[in-house]
């Protein structure tokens, strides 16, 4: 009979590693990160992410399909550990834990991936997210990018680690399905120029409303940090400046919502063209 | 010379009250709530919200316009208390405190306010947010609602207290500028019917894409909870069902981003009509 290893101590070295991986430094050093939740983990497994170790707590399970996911991870070569309820609650970072949390290996896409996309697509549709600070916003941007079907999300000069647990959570696992490429602004810009991709930025001072400019061709939508907006670099290098009408007292939108309305405008225009 | 009261003890009863007001129960009992940050507080003062007490910490100030806001609050009859740095850090709920935090009085708008809007506006533009769970999402929805200039945001069967500090923060103070009306689904629905407002809901099973249905007339956009979506009640009572194209693996968007793209579609259609 198969032996199930059950963890009942906080001192277990695997549990200690999970807790360490909540810190960016440890994620950088180890090239590992955490994935919590059935939906996120299922998307990771479907996207062939490597699950190094899975920690599960049957008393937290919400449905009945957890076991098949556990079996799938095991058959892919991942270690699986049943945890006592109180242990799982210690490692979980969710309000409503569903009993599944894994350590996975980071799989960063090199810049060459972007060149591959740019050289093969007729009208590439890219999103450039520069210096986003809040993991929840970066995750939401990934979720919207998945929804509209961008060819890649490019994370420039990142403030937030894309492997932060809250990015994974807010992305509902789309971190594993959208091609995410990291780079410096300069190297990304050089590639966009080489492939003649139009760079679009939103700024209140632009003359044209975002729904009135052509986004049907190759386009890279650029969005910047919550506090400072897009950097001068991208603002100056943009080919198309648009404004998003602001009819109230606030002078800006949340960055993830602003990104999403620009992304869906591309979808609307391409659909009706 | 004017005497400045400086708080240097955690045991100060005003400090204790601030900490209590982080809890919903205490906010409900007292009808008070917290506003932190220059931008939020300035919008509250401009919107003539009653500031009961202001706590400030000059060593946290970021700019030079704090003093005039303090003076304005004082001249409106609010108590003002200078706090020692470590005291302010105890009461602040922000990552980057800017040295201003106030207790304000809740000012709930009665349902009659909605009737006033419906009876006076030609094509009312409403947002109905039902059972939103996360304060950050509700605040972001308010921020977007301000941006598009809705006539009112109606919070139905609320899970999240609109006076939660994180709603105030994510709304960047638009909580004070957008008319926010709370009510039960039944009473709100009765009013919408009486004034023949079209109710619009997004659902993946709808035939029409949201950009292809007419939103130029009177419209109430309805959005539901993060986990369960819109309730059967609103889904069944909706006059217009639309879908938001989902081209990736995820089957839904973050609720605040979905709300925002629907809101901006109304703006686009009304602008070009």
Domain annotation for chain A: domains and CATH numbers: 6-105 (3.30.1330.30), 111-271 (3.40.1280.10)
Torsion angle, CA of B10/B12/B17/B18, rounded to 10 degrees?
A: -50
- State residue A79's pLDDT score: 95
Task: Please answer yes or no on whether A254 and B256 come within 8 Å at the CB atom.
Answer: yes
Closest CA to B131 of B211, B203, B43, B225: B225
| Residue A157 neighbours by CB distance under 10 Å | 19
Closest CA to B206 of B234, B245, B232, B249: B245
How far does A7 lie from chain B, in Å, by closest CA?
31
Average pLDDT over residues B29-53: 97
A41-63 pLDDT, tens digit per residue, is 999 999 999 999 999 999 999 98
Which residues from chain B sit within 8 angstroms of residue A264, using beta carbons? 244, 261
How far does A43 lie from chain B, in Å, by closest CA?
8
**DSSP-assigned states of every residue in A66-128:** HHHHHHHHHHTT-EEEEE-HHHHHHH--SSS--SEEEEEE--PBPHHHHHHHHHH-SS-EEEE
Judge if ipTM > 0.95: no
Q: Per-residue pLDDT tens, chain A, 273 aa: give them.
A: 466 778 999 899 999 999 999 999 999 999 999 999 999 999 999 999 999 999 999 999 998 899 999 999 999 999 999 999 999 999 999 988 999 999 999 998 889 999 999 999 999 999 999 999 999 999 999 999 999 999 999 999 888 899 999 999 999 999 999 999 999 999 999 999 999 999 999 998 999 999 999 999 999 999 999 989 999 999 999 999 999 999 999 999 999 999 999 999 999 999 865
Tell me which of A174, A245, A264, A265 to substitute to probe the interface with B (most B C-beta atoms closer than 10 Å): A264
The residue behind tokens 């809250």 is A166
Strands A208-209 and B79-83: unpaired
B178-206 pLDDT, tens digit per residue, is 999 999 999 999 999 999 999 999 998 99
- State residue B193's pLDDT score: 97
Which residues from chain A sit within 8 angstroms of residue B173, using beta carbons? 249-250
Which residues from chain B sit within 8 angstroms of residue A245, using beta carbons? 147-148, 267, 271
A124/A214 Cα distance (integer angstroms): 14
B249/A82 Cα distance (integer angstroms): 29
Chain A residues whose C-beta is within 8 A of a chain B C-beta are 43, 46, 136, 140, 143-149, 170, 172-174, 177-178, 209, 211, 244-250, 253-254, 256-257, 260-261, 264, 267-268, 271-272
Task: Please answer yes or no on whether A250 and B148 come within 8 Å at the CB atom.
Answer: no
Tally of residues, chain A = 273
Please state, rounded to an integer, the average pLDDT across all residues of chain B.
95
Task: Please answer yes or no on whether A174 and B248 come within 8 Å at the CB atom.
Answer: yes
Per the structure block, which two tokens stand in for A186? 């300069």
pTM for this model (two decimals): 0.94
Per the structure block, which two tokens stand in for B110? 């009665």
**DSSP-assigned states of every residue in A10-30:** TT-HHHHHHHHTTSHHHHHHH
The residue behind tokens 């590439």 is A124
DSSP annotation of A4 reads P
- State residue A2's pLDDT score: 61
- State residue A5's pLDDT score: 75
Facing B140 at nearest CB: one of A172, A209, A254: A254
Tell me which of B174, B261, B266 to substitute to probe the interface with A (most A C-beta atoms closer than 10 Å): B261
A118/A135 Cα distance (integer angstroms): 27
């Amino acid at each position: 009979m198969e032996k199930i290893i059950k963890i009942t101590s906080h001192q277990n070295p695997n549990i200690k590693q999970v807790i360490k991986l909540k810190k960016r430094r440890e994620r950088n050093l180890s090239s590992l990160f955490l994935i919590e939740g059935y939906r996120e983990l299922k998307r990771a497994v479907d996207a062939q992410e490597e699950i190094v170790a899975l920690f599960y707590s049957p008393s937290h399970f919400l449905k009945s399909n957890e076991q098949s996911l556990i079996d799938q991870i095991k058959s892919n070569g991942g270690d699986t550990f049943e945890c006592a309820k109180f242990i799982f609650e210690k490692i979980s970072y969710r309000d409503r834990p569903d009993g599944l949390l894994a350590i996975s290996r980071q799989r960063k896409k090199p810049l060459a991936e972007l060149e591959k996309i740019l050289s093969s697509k007729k009208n590439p549709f890219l999103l450039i997210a520069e210096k986003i600070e809040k993991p929840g916003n970066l995750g939401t941007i990934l979720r919207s990018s998945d929804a509209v079907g961008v060819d890649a999300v490019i994370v420039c000069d990142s403030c937030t680690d894309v492997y932060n647990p809250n990015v994974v959570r807010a992305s509902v696992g789309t971190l594993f399905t959208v091609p995410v490429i990291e780079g410096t602004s300069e190297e990304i810009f050089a590639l966009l120029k080489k492939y003649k991709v139009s760079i679009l930025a939103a700024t209140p001072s632009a003359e044209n409303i975002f729904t009135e400019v052509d986004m049907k061709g190759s386009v890279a939508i650029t969005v910047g940090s919550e506090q400072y907006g897009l950097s001068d670099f991208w603002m100056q290098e943009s080919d198309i400046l648009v404004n998003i009408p602001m009819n109230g007292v606030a002078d800006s939108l949340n960055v993830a919502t602003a990104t999403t309305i620009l992304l869906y405008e591309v979808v609307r225009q391409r659909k009706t063209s």
